[in-house]
Amino acid sequence: MTEIADFDTLRAAMAENSGQPEGPARNARAEQLLTAAEKLDIPLAVIEALGHQLKVYNYSSEKGKMFVPFARLLRMWDERPEDFDEYETHSLHWVFKWVSAGMLDQPHIPLASIEKWLGEMEHRYRLAGHSERAVRSAEHSVAAHVGDVARAERAYAAWLAADRDTMADCHACELHGQGWWQAEQGRDSEALELWRPVLEGEYACAHEPHTVLASSLVPLLRLGRLDEARANHLRGFRLVRAMESMRGAYADHVEFCALTGNEARGLELLAERPAYFTDDGHPRSRLDFMSVVALLMDRLTALGLGARQVPGPAGREWTASELAAHARGEALALAARFDARNGTGHVSERARARMACRPLAERLPLGVRSVRPAPVPGPAEAPVPVTGQPDPAALLAEARRLSDTLRPNAVEAWAAAAEAADGAGLDPRDRAEMVDHEAMSLGPEGAGLFEQAAELYAEAGDPGEALAARARGAYVRALAGDVDGAVAAVAGLYDEVLALYAAEGTGMRQTASVVMSRARILTRRAHETDGDTAALAEAGSAVREVLALVDGRTGEDVRLAARVAESQAMLGELAGLAGDLETAAELFARGAAAFVAAGLPWFAVEYEARLASLAHHLGDTAETERALRAALEHGGGQLEAPGRARLHLQLAEVVGGRGDAGEAAEHALEAAHWADEAGESATLGAWARQQLGGFLLRQGRWAEAAEVLESALPDLTAETHGDGAVVQTQWWLGDCLSELGEHRAAAERRLQAAEIARHWPEQHDHATLAHLAGESLGQAGLPAEADRAYARAGDLWRALGDAHGLVRSLRARAWLALETAGGPEAARALMADAVRACETARDTAGDEESRQRLVAELGHTHGQFGDLLARSAVGDAEGAPDRDLFEEALTQVVRSAEVFASLGDGALHSRTGAELAAGRLEAELDRRADAVARARAVLAAYEGHDGVVTGAGDGEAEAGRVRRAEAEQLLRLLTERPD
């Protein structure tokens, strides 16, 4: 520990410790600093060290320790109040609220002592002249805790009626408490309205909106406002994740996961905070935490996951069912201690109700990776007695109905019928259809069963269906890779069925089945031959034979209508192979529409998806979007998870491409969810999350985007997704972190992305990322590191011939030099380099537009040079300003105004800004007349541009108003100031 030799060193050490993460290490340092303060023999030093200790205890898991330093502070106040300065006097009264709340959280402190303390607080506040608002708020907390609703409502009303003063909690904290009470009483809408200013960022503090976001989750779920609940979880958990003192809010997020089908994410949250299971310095938040642990474990057990290993208290392994029992026991034991202290059963009732909550959303996708865990096989259970046997005849009739109408689950129905019948009482026809459908379920492995089905059909007296079964067998041979064998096999079957049909020995349905199988096989061969002209012609002829046979003769037969639709789509497939994409798109659309018209929309999905790809290739974004929406609509519940994920992801890209980031984010969210369900989290899911993060970023939803992008990054690899996707994700994440004020982390992401981009042939992205990293490092208070990043970017901008990037990197380095060893001289040299680089680029510009942009850049550079010199002139607060530097600064600013003037009205606001800066410098140099003239010239400049400003956009008009106001203020200061 650094030796604390004086009061200033102590204060610096306490300030440094305040900035450390919450937890035992910070608390221990505060205890050391109190010991050091006592050695200084300065009463105020001890007072400040006690206040610091009390504060860090309060914002940690060791809240119970704060009573001792507070009691000592109160005794010192009573004995020698003159030792307390104004700030410490205010702080002493302020922490009365912390202590009263802290007593409620400790069940060993008697209720009578808490009530006595409440009276003491009221008495001392009255003596100090403070409003009773904070007292009534504390009384409300006591009444609500013990379950005295009538007293709580009276205190609540008195709390709101009392005047706000310096002892009242900040607006954000007050609104949290008021909203909590409304939600507790079942008034969720009122609670959310109270919380709205905090959620929207109007009010904030060290722990808000952290707790409001957490408290809002269940009310939002109860109101069905699921999108807001999802957003608040992602935003809020990011805020509380690293704050040890916020176990109660953390518990709210675990509860949210348990109530929304996100049990796997709930387990991840528990694993992140193992100490929360056992930290006992704050029993009330431990009660909250163990209650939601029990809730989550019960949910897992209900899903058949009771045997799954889960995170729990250290020292042993836990299954979900074991942890459920342990957590419930701990929670109820803690609740019983509170109730024994309070003389009511209220705390236990609340804990039991919380643990008994049922899910409020079966599945609420969050966008972050979190796959629902699969059930763990447990010991075999005794068979459940069967009370009634299925009726084989009824199952057979249902299976036949489903297959005749081409329902999606027909194959499963035939399997159920076969299992129920078990071969008993079946005629050859029944057995033929069962074997036929079993073969269909096996795909290429079902070839042998198709032959068996054919024999049974023949035995049943249906030679046409026997030929159709053999033709289906030939087609699966083609699917297995034996295309030539399939072509040979189907040729004879085709001749036989046509002859049989001509002799009226079979029907249209059976004949069409064989002809369609032949068309499918020949189309397969066209694919195998890479669109050979002869193969294409033969396949097209075969498909048109199907149409010639069936089209116009389908009647009410859904199977025949499906043949027509499939034939149209197959012709589209062949057109695509031939390179005629427009015709292919038209035929796919026609085939899909025919399936929908036949009442078979789920068959249209494949062709609508193909149509979407073709339309995208042809640049028809409207048709692409229409086809994708149709595919999702027509697929309905029949779409399997991988297909649904891909369709949503494609639609997200299309919708996002036309600028609707909100809807695009919804589709990317669905894509991520279905990719996880399909077991493709690391591949398709990572793509979807990457896109979702980008769309959230475009909406300014920085915290949500950061959570999603951080979730995507571990799965994104150069091998699978390409290094461009990795760089883009790091880039976006850096942007989010920068907006969230996490500048050091933003710099790390940007530097990681730059390191990948440095190996690319085109170096513009590398330069941009290095430049952005410089910005983040500067904002993180790391000027030397920032300078290195800007220097790297500057070298790249120079090599790329990008004068704007080079000039801006030099200007940034100049400003940084004021904070590093280089100092003002290095800053001046860098800014001069920026001016020269800009002038050189201006003089060699290839066109007038580029030249004018560089002239504007030069104007800004002169302006910044002047600003830098002026700040250097002020120097140390104890020294006199350097007039020579002011003169030099004025020269640069005047030059800036002249440069902007050369650009005419387009640079009016920049010119007048430079003029006003010059006027302020002239005032510093005691040239009042010159400064007044400049201010009046600015006002005159806008008098001649009223029409331009009035007709301009909001930004332009606002800039004009700002300049006028600045000029008027400068003029007022100059004319009112005495000589």
In angstroms, the Cα distances linking 14 to 26, 33, 60, 467, 628 are 10, 7, 16, 90, 60
The length of the chain is: 979
Q: Is 735 helix (H, G, I), strand (E, B) or coil?
A: helix
In the Cβ-directed half-sphere of 240, how many Cα atoms lie within 13 Å? 27
pLDDT of residue 960: 86
pLDDT of residue 821: 80
Per DSSP, the three-state class of 319 is: strand
Among residues 789, 772, 839, 850, the alpha carbon closest in space to that of 831 is found at 839
Q: Mean pLDDT of all residues in the chain?
A: 92
The reported pLDDT for the residue numbered 875 is 61
Of 740, 745, 803, give the one whose Cα is nearest residue 773.
Answer: 745
Amino acid present at 710: E
Cα 875 to Cα 869: distance, rounded to the nearest angstrom: 10
pLDDT at 881: 73
Whether residue 714 is preceded by a cis peptide bond, meaning omega within 30 degrees of 0, is no
Which two tokens mark 120?
Answer: 């003491």
Name the region of 343 (left: φ>0; alpha: ψ -120 to 50; beta: rest): left
How far is it, in rounded angstroms, from Cα 501 to Cα 481? Answer: 30
The secondary element (H helix, E strand) that includes residue 817 is helix 803-817
H or E stretch at 463: helix 463-479
- The first and second tokens of residue 662, run together, are 């909100």
Measured in whole angstroms, the distance separating CA 850 from the mean position of its chain's CA atoms is 39
27 close to 60: Cβ distance less than 8 angstroms: yes
Alpha-carbon torsion (242, 246, 249, 253), positive or negative: positive
Backbone angles phi, psi at 952, to 5 degrees: -80, 175
Strand pairing category for 309-310 and 318-319: antiparallel
pLDDT of residue 874: 76
Name the 3-class secondary structure at 309: strand
The pLDDT, as a whole number, for residue 953 is 56
> How far apart, in Å, are the Cα atoms of 848 and each of 253, 629, 857?
58, 47, 14
Angle at 173 between CA 170 and CA 174, to 5 degrees: 80
CA distance 197 to 175: 9
Token digits of residue 264: 């796997």
Low-confidence ranges of the chain (pLDDT < 50): 1, 378-387, 877, 947-952
Between CA 597 and CA 348 the distance in angstroms is: 60
Query: What is the structure's pLDDT at 950?
Result: 43
DSSP state of 150: H
CB atoms within 10 A of CB 630: 23
Cβ contact 809:844 at 8 Å: no
Q: Is 799:763 a contact under the CB 8 Å cutoff?
A: yes
Nearest to 418 by CA among 445, 443, 447, 439: 439
* Whole-number Å distance between alpha carbons of 12 and 29: 13
CB-count exposure of residue 412 (10 Å: 0-12, 13-18, 19+): middle
Tokens for 794?
């500057």
Residue 318 is inside which H or E element, if any? strand 318-319
Alpha helices in 844-882 (DSSP H): 848-874
- 543-598 residue pLDDT tens: 999 999 998 888 889 999 999 999 999 999 999 999 999 999 999 999 999 999 99
Nearest to 285 by CA among 276, 295, 274, 297: 276
**What's the pLDDT score for residue 23?**
86
Alpha-carbon gap, residue 915 to 126, rounded angstroms: 56
Whether 401 and 706 have beta carbons less than 8 Å apart is answered as no
Cα distance between residue 298 and residue 304, in whole Å: 10
Query: What does the pLDDT look like over 449-497, one tens digit per residue?
Result: 999 999 999 999 999 999 999 999 999 999 999 999 999 999 999 999 9
User: Residue 164: how many CB atoms within 10 A of its CB?
Assistant: 13
Which residue, 418, 489, 480, 490, is CA-closest to 444? Answer: 480
Q: Which two tokens stand for residue 869?
A: 């010199």
Structure confidence at residue 524 (pLDDT): 96
The dihedrals phi and psi of 282, each to the nearest 5 degrees, come to: -140, 85
Cβ atoms < 10 Å from Cβ of 402: 18
Reported pTM: 0.87
Residue 393 neighbours by CB distance under 10 Å:
13
447, two tokens = 């070839």
Q: Report the SS3 class of residue 208.
A: strand
Q: Which of 565, 562, 567, 561 is nearest to 539 (CA)?
A: 567
Helix (H) or strand (E) holding 429: helix 428-442
Distance, in Å, from the CA atom of 575 to the CA atom of 931, rounded to the nearest integer, reads 77
| Sign, Cα dihedral of 500, 504, 510, 513 | positive
Q: What are phi and psi of 310, to 5 degrees?
A: -135, 160
Query: Got the DSSP string for 239-263?
Result: HHTT-TT-HHHHHHHHHHHHHTT-H
Which DSSP symbol is given to 444?
G
pLDDT of amino acid 63: 82
- Dihedral sign for Cα 64, 69, 72, 77, please: negative
DSSP for 877-892 reads: TTSPP-HHHHHHHHHH
Amino acid present at 934: R
Closest CA to 587 of 601, 567, 609: 567
